[in-house]
Amino acid sequence: MGRLMRIAIVGPTHPYKGGVAQHTTQLAHRLAAAGHEVSLESWLRQYPNRLYPGQQRVEVPEMPVFPGTRYPLSWNRPDGWWRLGRRLTKQADVVILVLVSPIQAPALAVLARAMKGGPRIIALCHNVLPHERRSIDERFVKAVLGQADAVLVHAVKEEQLAKTLTAAMTAVCPLPPPHRFAVEDETPPDPDRPLTHRLLFFGLVRPYKGLDVLLRALAKTQDVTLVVAGEFWGGVDSTVALIDELGIADRVDLRPGYVQSAEVPGLIRGSDVMVLPYRDSTASWNGSLALEHGVPVIATRVGTMAEQVRDEVDGLLCDPEDVDGLAAAITHVYEPGVLQTLRRGIGPAAGEESWDRYVEVVSGLARPGA
């Protein structure tokens, strides 16, 4: 692996919730396990409440907390941004800036400027730019990427976008598997278990995720129900109105609100299929979660979905925003024997080798001259 380094990660972790916070925490644990001296610097206040109206924090950690985590950053304290940068200049060889949203870019840009001439800077982008963009987002993100020595992304499409915003070296590494949620019964699901005739849409509900497309497709099918579990970014009113307009209120179970990690396995295993009808995507953990629990996936051909889901093997693929195509996929999955075949096609979950590779890539980017 080469020489061991002092690595500081700047990004969300517990008590913040969700996939990015879990990934940041896992990365800290994995780099420390590889022998590096790791510190995790997080946010005391990540966003103004008006910009994230949902639940930002959870009381119970979703995975083991990284020891010694500090919380020096707040969106409304620019002095803290600069102070952290100056401190890390003395304490770190490498600083990984986890870029979640352009809203955080000013803080990360100031932090990077305060470290000029000091540690090597890696920008870790879950999305280089948001799926739903504002005109100012590109300028904000460019201010961070332009100061980075290297940029890490999770999809080739994102690397191409990053190259338009920075001359820094870039690298692509697939998003490794999420933290494994505990399951009361570790027995592998039986491929021949009874059908529930229940589909699942899971996670934060935003326009780019295509819930409206799924609802319109559901209206073109019969004898199938849908559970929608997750926070609604803009409230549920427009979704409720569409459900009523389509006449499918008796077939849709809306469960607005963040799904606690302990509830995730049961929610997934209680469904026949997880549906990811995204209009746009880079990489998503939800498909991996479903397959890990023995549940096939219907997904659109966006981002890395076509790499995660093998069409007619462990799931079905269709085109984004294609209501008829999605309805046909739902109908097909319930044809005799199809769901059982897809269940049997699910291979072993991605294991330690995925994280080993990810740590290897990060460590490589961290070395001067990389």
CA separation for the pair 355, 26 (Å, rounded) = 9
Is residue 190 situated within a structural domain?
Answer: no
Is residue 182 situated within a structural domain?
Answer: no
Same domain, yes or no, for 355 and 341?
A: no
Contact between 297 and 308 under an 8 Å Cβ cutoff? The reply is yes
Contact between 242 and 215 under an 8 Å Cβ cutoff? The reply is yes
pLDDT score of 1? 45
Spans in the chain with pLDDT lower than 50: 1
Same domain, yes or no, for 102 and 229?
A: no
> In which region does residue 257 sit, left (phi positive, over 0), alpha (psi from -120 to 50) or beta (all else)?
left
Structure tokens at 162: 């990053």
Phi, psi of 273 (to 5 degrees): -145, 140
Same domain, yes or no, for 325 and 356?
A: no
Same domain, yes or no, for 25 and 104?
A: yes
Contacts of residue 244, Cβ cutoff 8 Å, sequence gap at least 6: none
49: domain CATH number is: 3.40.50.2000
Same domain, yes or no, for 159 and 217?
A: no
pLDDT score of 3? 74
User: HEC states along 192-225?
Assistant: CCCCCCEEEEECCECHHHCHHHHHHHHCCCCCCE
Q: What total number of domains does the chain contain?
A: 2
Same domain, yes or no, for 356 and 316?
A: no
Same domain, yes or no, for 171 and 243?
A: no
- Strand 225-230 relative to strand 150-153, pairing: unpaired
pLDDT score of 235? 86
pLDDT score of 53? 58
Is residue 122 situated within a structural domain?
Answer: yes
Same domain, yes or no, for 165 and 212?
A: no
Is residue 106 situated within a structural domain?
Answer: yes
Tokens 């693929």 found at:
317
Is residue 191 situated within a structural domain?
Answer: no
Residue-range definition of the domain harbouring residue 58: 6-177+351-366
Same domain, yes or no, for 131 and 273?
A: no
Is residue 338 situated within a structural domain?
Answer: yes
Task: Give Cα separations from 315 to 193, 295, 333, 341 (angstroms).
Answer: 17, 9, 9, 10
Is residue 186 situated within a structural domain?
Answer: no
Contacts of residue 127, Cβ cutoff 8 Å, sequence gap at least 6: 158, 282
Same domain, yes or no, for 118 and 263?
A: no
Same domain, yes or no, for 275 and 207?
A: yes
DSSP 35-61: T-EEEEEEEEE-S-GGG--S--B-SS-
Same domain, yes or no, for 210 and 330?
A: yes
Is residue 270 situated within a structural domain?
Answer: yes
pLDDT digits over 314-362, tens only? 999 999 999 999 999 999 999 999 999 999 999 876 667 889 999 999 9
